[in-house]
């Protein structure tokens, strides 16, 4: 079925308390309509201006974060049947990265989710607002089950 949304970008959080409800719902939504679903996770660099002495250590921490994110993303992909070529791990500010990647892949929908356990989420705060206002396509915000 060629429906309203066929090429979906799901921005995931990979937070330790990440609520799988959100990704499961996004995957169900994509499957229902036979849409292509791409997983995107952003890693923000560590901001440590002037930390000359700690530079080596910060590099190591960043590499470790990236390794762990890569593994978490691959695990998610495996669990939900999303092929590795449809998984993206990008370093940069989430709002900018999500909007740019959506544009580059000609996504017709961006899905952002939030883990509701603590009522806070990177992707349900100002980042979600920014995505909603600046994206060139539609945006679906999935609220985590509370």
Q: Is 1 in the site for its own copies (CB under 8 A)?
A: yes
Among positions 29, 35, 38, 42, the unique one binding its own copies when judged by CB under 8 A: 29
C-alpha distances in Å from residue 36, one per residue of 39, 47, 145: 10, 34, 24
CB of 25 to its own copies, least distance (A): 6
Among positions 71, 78, 106, 133, the unique one binding its own copies when judged by CB under 8 A: 133
Among positions 19, 99, 102, 124, the unique one binding its own copies when judged by CB under 8 A: 124
CA 11 to chain centre: 2
Q: Please list every residue from 55 through 114 that binds its own copies, using CB under 8 A.
A: none
Among positions 10, 23, 25, 122, the unique one binding its own copies when judged by CB under 8 A: 25
Residues that bind its own copies (rule: CB under 8 A) add up to a total of 23
Name the residues that contact its own copies, by CB under 8 A.
1, 3-5, 25, 28-29, 32-33, 124, 128-129, 132-133, 135-143
């Amino acid at each position: 079925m060629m429906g309203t949304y066929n090429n979906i970008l799901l921005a995931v959080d990979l937070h330790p308390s990440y609520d799988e409800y959100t990704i499961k719902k996004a995957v169900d939504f994509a499957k229902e309509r036979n849409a292509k679903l791409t997983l995107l996770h952003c890693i923000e660099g560590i901001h440590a201006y002037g930390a000359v002495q700690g530079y080596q250590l910060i590099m190591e921490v960043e590499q470790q974060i990236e390794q762990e994110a890569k593994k978490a993303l691959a695990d998610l992909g495996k669990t939900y049947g999303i092929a590795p070529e449809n998984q993206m791990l990008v370093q940069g500010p989430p709002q900018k990265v999500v909007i740019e990647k959506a544009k580059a892949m000609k996504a017709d929908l961006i899905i952002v989710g939030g883990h509701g356990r603590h009522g806070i989420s990177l992707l349900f705060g100002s980042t979600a607002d920014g995505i909603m206002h600046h994206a060139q396509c539609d945006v679906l915000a999935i609220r985590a089950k509370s």
